[in-house]
Amino acid sequence: MAAGVEIAGEHQGGDNRKFAVRLGDGAQVEAVLYRGDSLCISTQVGCAVGCPFCASGANGLGRNLELEELHGQVGAVRARGARVARVTLSGVGEPLHNFDAASAFIRESHAAGTPVTLTSSGGPTRNLARVFELPHRGLTISVHAGSEEVRARTVPRGPSLERLYGALGPLLATASQRRRRRFALAYLMVAGLNDGAAELEAFIERAQPLGVLVHLYAYNPVPTSPFSAVDDADYQAAYQKMRRAGLEVRRSSVARTRANGGCGTLVALRRPASPRPVAG
Ligand code: SF4
């Protein structure tokens, strides 16, 4: 376990175990163990991307986590007796904004026999290209929009759709079928933000040529966000619309639809003036 990385608290929510992780400087991030052996860890304290529905980035970016702090989260959770069979860099932070540590973590974990997946808003796109060279098990790119206008609202400091698809198209076109299976797009449906028919159709039109899997998520409301969840009927209708258009689509897992856990629900605290006691 990396020096200075410790579990400050643990909360059980459904099948998930959520850990408050305190870093050496007092800053706090979160890690979530899904389905008993899949660990979601954080790559930054806060996040600069500023997605308005996300608790992780609600206060902007604090700092990047060091490589040792990425390994430290895994070590600290294992030290609590948990089995960690795989890791995903999908917690607090944008992994491509902390590319050196994230890529070293992926390589080292792969060498040690632990598969790693990651979730990214796609920028900077030069790092998106470099991810294609890494031994990861899957990259999910958060798109959450069909038009530039809505993309600018849902992923404010991520790359525009033009830049994103402009980078992804050629990369996927030259990837083998086996490699292409490791990439996916994510669309998080948020009521009143990106759940309109025209927006979904614009997303479908852009996504179709890529031939990759789409994860269609339903939003979990968080206290820092003014947004609310979509009706289940609208969510299921969007799923059918994408399927009818020929996309391969997966819906939110049970682990994600529970309030405790999932991108957009994790929290980062800057160095607290006086560390708050948390039940451990
Ligand atoms: S959803 Fe992901 S990229 Fe967006 S602010 Fe939250 S942590 Fe950052």
21-35, 126-140, 262-276: the lowest-pLDDT one:
262-276
Closest CA to 191 of 230, 164, 219, 249: 230
Q: Tell the burial category of 242 from Cβ atoms under 10 Å away from its Cβ (0-12, 13-18, 19+).
A: buried
Q: Which of 30, 43, 51 has most ligand 1 atoms within 8 Å of CB, for mutation? A: 51
Mean pLDDT of 50-54: 90
User: Is the pLDDT at 78 greater than 90, yes or no?
Assistant: yes
Ligand 1 geometric centre to CA of 80 (Å)? 27
Distance of alpha carbon 271 from alpha carbon 244, whole angstroms: 49
- CA 243 to the chain's CA centroid: 23
Closest CA to 118 of 143, 141, 98, 100: 141
Task: Look at residue 3 in the predicted model and tell me its pLDDT.
Answer: 61
Task: State pTM to two decimals.
Answer: 0.91
Q: Which of 40, 47, 144, 194 has most ligand 1 atoms within 8 Å of CB, for mutation? A: 47
Ligand 1 atom closest to the Cα of residue 158 is 3
pLDDT band at 253 (very low <50, low <70, confident <90, very high): low
Contact 119, 89 (CB under 8 A): yes
pLDDT tens digit sequence for 172-181:
999 888 888 8
Domains of the chain (ranges; CATH) run 6-257 (3.20.20.70)
Mean pLDDT of 84-98: 96
Ligand 1 atom closest to the Cα of residue 54 is 6
Task: Look at residue 198 in the predicted model and tell me its pLDDT.
Answer: 97
pLDDT tens digit sequence for 128-179:
999 999 999 999 999 999 999 999 999 999 999 999 999 999 999 998 888 8
Structure-token pair, residue 194: 């990106």
DSSP, collapsed to helix, strand or coil, labels residue 199 as helix
Pocket of ligand 1 (CB under 6 A): 47, 49-51, 54, 56-57, 92-94, 121, 263-264
Instruction: Give the residue carrying structure tokens 């009706």.
Output: 231
Sign of CA dihedral 221, 238, 151, 119: positive
Ligand 1 atom closest to the Cα of residue 44 is 7
> 39 has which bridge partners?
33, 87
Express as a percent the part of the chain with pLDDT over 70: 90
Mean pLDDT of 247-276: 62
pLDDT band at 223 (very low <50, low <70, confident <90, very high): confident
Ligand 1 geometric centre to CA of 47 (Å)? 6
Task: Look at residue 279 in the predicted model and tell me its pLDDT.
Answer: 31
Mean pLDDT of 201-223: 92
Ligand 1 atom closest to the Cα of residue 263 is 1
Q: How does the average pLDDT of the chain come out, rounded?
A: 90
DSSP codes of every residue in 167-181: HHHHHHHTS-HHHHT
Task: Look at residue 265 in the predicted model and tell me its pLDDT.
Answer: 63
Which residue has a Cα nearest atom 7 of ligand 1?
Answer: 93
pLDDT band at 275 (very low <50, low <70, confident <90, very high): very low
Mean pLDDT of 171-194: 92
Count, residues in the chain: 280
Ligand 1 geometric centre to CA of 28 (Å)? 16
Ligand 1 atom closest to the Cα of residue 91 is 7
